[in-house]
Structure 1
Amino acid sequence: MLRSLLFAAASAVVLAACSSTPSPTPVPGAISPPEAAVVKSSFDRAMGTVEELVRAGNTPIAIERLMQLAGDTSITEEERAKTLVLLGDYSLATGGYNAEGAVGYYQEVLADHASSKAAADAAKKLPVAQTKVAEYLATLGSANLTRTQEFNALFGLGRHQAAIDVMTAYDLMPDNEALLAMYQIGYLCEDTNLTGRAYDVTDRDGTVRKVRFCDLGK
């Protein structure tokens, strides 16, 4: 009995000593262990790139990056659905010029990813895109349609080559936004070796570029 009491007392003393032992004081100049690096997924990296492109006003290039991401087999269904919704959003946004494409992206989410969280967002945005397409089609069906209106409607729908055919056939001068989009998409190039009509395009940073239609046969 006495031995048990002595053992219990000794244990209490040891526990008290442990609890009162202060934490080791950091040694000045000592190197702290490195924190574990945060590894971003391919989806997060791509989204970061897309956000930077959109902030810089390079919406067509952001759309191209999202299209690549949508075909990435390593992303989840939810991530793919979110990517498709963003493709629709940016296709309707300033510089996107692809209203029919936006309708297709939202419809794809509803058809192929109906159980995703992004589906509700797509369902809400689809009617807006469909209305925009209907407005462009109504313009094209107008009896008093001008060539500039025809170009703008075709380009806004996403029928870029048809719009360019009208532009070149009637020697039209689109506004800077459309010309900049054509430059970013890759229809117009800044190359002194190119021939044909030159167009002055002011980039987002204020840089004025003299561009011509690219030689796509190269």
Structure 2
Amino acid sequence: MLKHMIAGASVLVIAAACASSNDPVADPVEPNTSAEQTQYELAIGTVTSLVDAGNEQIAIDRLTQLLGDPGMSERQMAETLFARAKLRYGGGNDLTGAVQDLKEIKANYPDSHVADEAAALLDEAAAEFAMLTDMLESGSVTPMERFEILFRLGRHQEAADLMLAGALEPENNYILDMYQIGYLCDGDELAGPVFELVEPDGTSRAVQFCELGK
């Protein structure tokens, strides 16, 4: 049930991203020759390339760095927050972070051109957040379902702790995210359980928990 629910949420995000005419990753950028605008274009181009390559977690990190740029306009801030929210809600598996981003748009950029889409996505994300939280608090889920819920909510450290303590073996998409976030590493000096990872480009790796090798 949980897998079908998460898959359905991902389909909604992909459909919204394809249908949106306001997606900052896809839209033509307004003509502007300033250094700040050029930097913004480069950053968004990098994010697009990362997403296309299946590196959602690294793309989220790049958007987070971009949001720290004091030279960003309000339009750019709203666009960047919305781009990060969609990634977090989709393949980034950080529902909590997505809700926070969408609430920030609602509070600080209510007149932005992405405000209506952000509000609609906030309703969906908040509903899923409430449902998953209720499932988690019910205590009626299996250890693997608990891991998946924690991970989907963005509580990645708790999910990693449960994975290690319960000797869980999640599917490849979770292993990939944990590798990109930095919970799993590859290297001869590491110890602990080994997980087989196949990256989006087909590269195979044997990865282990990074902290256990220190």
Q: TM-score, normalised by structure 2?
A: 0.80
1:142 is displaced (CA, Å) by: 3.3
Trace 1:107-122 onto structure 2 (pairs within 5 A).
107-122=103-118
* Aligned-partner residue type, residue 138 of structure 2: S
Asked if residue 144 in structure 1 is aligned to residue 140 in structure 2, the reply is yes
Distance 1:170 1:176, change over 3 A: same
Alignment match of 2:150 (pick from 151, 154, 163): 154
Q: For residues 17-45 of structure 1, what are the alpha-carbon distances to aligned partners after superposition, in whole Å with 9 as ceiling and x for unaligned?
A: xxxxxxxxxxxxxxxxxxxx997611111
* Aligned-partner residue type, residue 143 of structure 2: R
Rg larger for: 1
1:164 is displaced (CA, Å) by: 1.0
**What are the ranges of 5 or more consecutive residues in structure 1 without an aligned counterpart?**
1-36
1:129 is displaced (CA, Å) by: 0.8
Take 2:139 and 2:181, find their aligned partners in 1: how far apart are those partners?
31
Per the alignment, residue 71 of structure 2 pairs with 74
Take 1:45 and 1:110, find their aligned partners in 2: how far apart are those partners?
26
Alignment match of 2:48 (pick from 38, 47, 51): 51
Maintained 8 Å contact 2:191/2:212: no
Take 1:41 and 1:193, find their aligned partners in 2: how far apart are those partners?
42
Q: Which has the higher helix share?
A: 2
* Aligned-partner residue type, residue 123 of structure 1: A
* Aligned-partner residue type, residue 112 of structure 2: S
Report which structure shows greater RCO (CA 8 Å, sep ≥6). Answer: 2
3-state SS of 2:205 partner: strand
Between the two proteins, the alignment pairs up a number of residues equal to 181
* Aligned-partner residue type, residue 204 of structure 2: V
Take 2:65 and 2:212, find their aligned partners in 1: how far apart are those partners?
21
Asked if residue 201 in structure 1 is aligned to residue 197 in structure 2, the reply is yes
Take 1:213 and 1:58, find their aligned partners in 2: how far apart are those partners?
19
Q: For residues 90-146 of structure 1, what are the alpha-carbon distances to aligned partners after superposition, in whole Å with 9 as ceiling and x for unaligned?
A: 00112x110111010000011111222222221121011112212321321334310
Take 1:38 and 1:144, find their aligned partners in 2: how far apart are those partners?
56
Take 1:217 and 1:199, find their aligned partners in 2: how far apart are those partners?
15
Asked if residue 169 in structure 1 is aligned to residue 158 in structure 2, the reply is no
Per the alignment, residue 98 of structure 1 pairs with 94
Take 2:68 and 2:90, find their aligned partners in 1: how far apart are those partners?
22
Take 1:173 and 1:139, find their aligned partners in 2: how far apart are those partners?
21
Over the matched positions of the two proteins, sequence identity in percent amounts to 41
Take 2:64 and 2:34, find their aligned partners in 1: how far apart are those partners?
26
- 4+ residue segments displaced more than 4 Å: 37-40
Asked if residue 214 in structure 1 is aligned to residue 207 in structure 2, the reply is no
Alignment match of 1:135 (pick from 131, 135, 147): 131
**What are the ranges of 5 or more consecutive residues in structure 2 without an aligned counterpart?**
1-32
More displaced 10-residue stretch of structure 1: 52-61 or 111-120: 111-120
* Aligned-partner residue type, residue 200 of structure 1: E
